[in-house]
């Protein structure tokens, strides 16, 4: 037997949604959603959970939690070159708090509307604060970006800047001031959906940087059966990061994760097309290394191999 509170919460969530897509034949309200996938396309699915105290500090504003819970999933779809379309929201809440939920849905639906993503269902339960989102998109058959397509000789690229979110979190936990752009990087990462779609015809492999650039690049290296050689002097950083990160902690912060940039490989012949794309999308793309024969991730500083213990994020 469900309390009236649960249905009130679901109805509140449903009423906040502005996106209306014709391919949603049945959305929130039945036992399951009924969705139309376009002909000659593959369905792309991913799921990510944010737990209070683990993925975001207790006291994080609800708008940011709403935004980020969807953003990390759209980032995974972007890394596959997919067009996002629908999502499911599994909410575990400690109490029925209308004010909190209203602020949460503001952030969630702001990002959903920006990418025309319809919320088509979910589950609402009581317990320690945890938000799990499943995102669905589609990609033309055969054009999805995978971790496994890199070739020896390909360039390694990354979008945007690395380390901003890690630096913001470190300063916040130390009760130090956090400049606005760094806070935005932590709380409201922008999933690189347009870039992912454009890379379908340019990249040979792709991954989103959620667990740290060196660790995530390691996944491309393993899946593609080669080694990734990275020049740490080339890792892109923001002006705020440069101003506040100490020289010795740069690499550690830049390989901590939570960046939601796209890291990808491409044939060197694509270099000018990629720089043109960066201009068209008003984002930066930086060449940070090369794929070579071997295995794992080789890290160079000023051209000289260095040992690195920066394994990125792991839950266990």
Interface residues with Mg ion (CB under 5 A) are: 123
What does 312 bind: ligand ADP, Mg ion, none (CB cut-off 5 to 8 Å by kind)? none
Residue with tokens 């399951």: 32
Which position's Cβ is nearest ligand ADP? Answer: 121
| Site string (6-35) toward ligand ADP, x via CB under 6 A | ----x--x--------------xxxx----
Among 62, 66, 122, 163, binds ligand ADP (CB under 6 A): 122
Q: Specify the stretch interacting with ligand ADP by CB under 6 A; choose among 73-81, 120-128, 250-258, 270-278.
A: 120-128
Q: Specify the stretch interacting with ligand ADP by CB under 6 A; choose among 119-127, 197-205, 235-243, 262-270.
A: 119-127
CA distance 174 to 162: 20
Among 72, 74, 77, 89, binds ligand ADP (CB under 6 A): 89
Quick check: 135 binds ligand ADP (CB under 6 A)? no
Q: Which of 112, 209, 201, 211 is nearest to 161 (CA)?
A: 209
CA distance 112 to 70: 8
Supply 14's token pair.
């449903």
Residue 208: CB atoms within 10 A of its CB come to 26
Helices (H), 92-146: 98-114
CA distances from 140 to 207, 240, 257, 311 (A): 18, 39, 29, 34
Do residues 123 and 6 touch, judged by C-beta distance below 8 A? Answer: no
What does 122 bind: ligand ADP, Mg ion, none (CB cut-off 5 to 8 Å by kind)? ligand ADP
Among 97, 123, 233, 276, binds ligand ADP (CB under 6 A): 123
Site residues (vs ligand ADP, CB under 6 A): 10, 13, 28-31, 89, 91, 119, 121-124
């Amino acid at each position: 037997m469900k309390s009236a509170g649960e249905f009130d919460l679901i109805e509140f969530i449903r009423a906040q949604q502005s996106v209306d897509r014709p391919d949603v034949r049945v959305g929130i309200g039945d036992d399951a959603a009924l969705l139309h996938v376009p002909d000659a396309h593959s369905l792309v699915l991913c799921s990510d959970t944010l737990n209070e105290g683990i993925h975001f500090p207790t006291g994080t504003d609800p708008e940011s939690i709403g935004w980020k819970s969807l953003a990390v999933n759209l980032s995974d779809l972007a890394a596959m070159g997919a067009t996002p379309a629908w999502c499911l929201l599994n909410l575990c809440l400690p109490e029925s708090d209308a004010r909190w939920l209203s602020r949460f849905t503001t952030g969630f639906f702001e990002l959903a509307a920006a990418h025309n993503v319809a919320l088509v269902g979910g589950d609402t339960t009581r317990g320690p604060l945890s938000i799990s989102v499943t995102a669905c998109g589609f990609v033309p058959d055969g054009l999805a970006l995978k971790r496994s397509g890199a070739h020896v000789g390909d360039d390694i690229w990354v979008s945007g800047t690395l380390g901003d979110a890690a630096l913001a979190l470190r300063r916040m936990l130390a009760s130090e001031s956090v400049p606005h752009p760094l806070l935005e990087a932590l709380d409201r990462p922008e999933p690189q959906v347009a870039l992912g779609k454009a890379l379908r015809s340019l990249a040979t492999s792709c991954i989103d940087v959620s667990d740290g650039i060196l660790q995530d690049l390691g996944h491309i290296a393993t899946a593609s059966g080669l080694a990734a050689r990275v020049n740490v002097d080339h890792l892109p950083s923001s002006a705020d990061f440069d101003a506040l990160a100490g020289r010795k902690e740069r690499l550690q912060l830049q390989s901590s994760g939570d960046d939601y940039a796209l890291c990808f490989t491409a044939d060197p012949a694509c270099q000018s097309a990629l720089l043109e794309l960066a201009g068209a999308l008003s984002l930066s793309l930086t060449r940070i290394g090369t794929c070579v024969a071997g295995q794992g991730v080789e890290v160079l500083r000023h051209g000289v191999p260095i040992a690195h213990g920066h394994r990125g994020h792991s839950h266990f």
